[in-house]
Amino acid sequence: MEKTFSIIKPDAVKAGNAGAILSRIEKAGFRIVGLRMRHLTTREAQGFYHVHKARPFFGELVNFMSSGPCITMVLERENAILGLRDLMGATNPANAAAGTIRKDFAASIEANAIHGSDAPETAAFEISYFFPGIEL
C-alpha cells in the first residue's frame, strides 16, 4: 500500500464541493488515513510551497492557499500517487479529462480544487509537513 497527500483547496471548500470530492476519492478505492480541516497561515503556505519560491506565481499561490479553509489529508491504496493524479485530472481544468475532479469542480488553473503529491519523495515531505509523528 502506498500513501499520498492531498489538499481540497479553499476554492472547492468555499463552493461546498468538499463532500463530493471526498466521496469520489473514497469511491476510487482510497482509504482516508488522516484528515483535517485547517486555515493555512501565510507562513504555513510559504513553507509548504517553498519549492516554488523563485517562481513568479509564488505570492499569488500563497495568498490563495491562505485565503480560506482547506482540507488536508493522507490517503492510502495501491499506486496511490498515480491513482490520485489520474482522479484529479490535469492542472488546467480546460485540459482535464471528463469525469476528473478538476474538470468537474475547478474554476481555473489557479483555483483548481485539489492538490496531490507528484512523487514518493514529495508525498513523504507533504505528509510529514501537515501530519507530524503521532497524528497518523
The C-alpha atoms of residue 2 and residue 128 are separated, in whole angstroms, by 15
DSSP β-bridge partners for residue 4: 75
Half-sphere exposure of 27 (CA within 13 A, CB side): 10
Q: Which residues are catalytic?
A: 115
The C-alpha atoms of residue 129 and residue 55 are separated, in whole angstroms, by 21
3-class secondary-structure state, position 107: coil
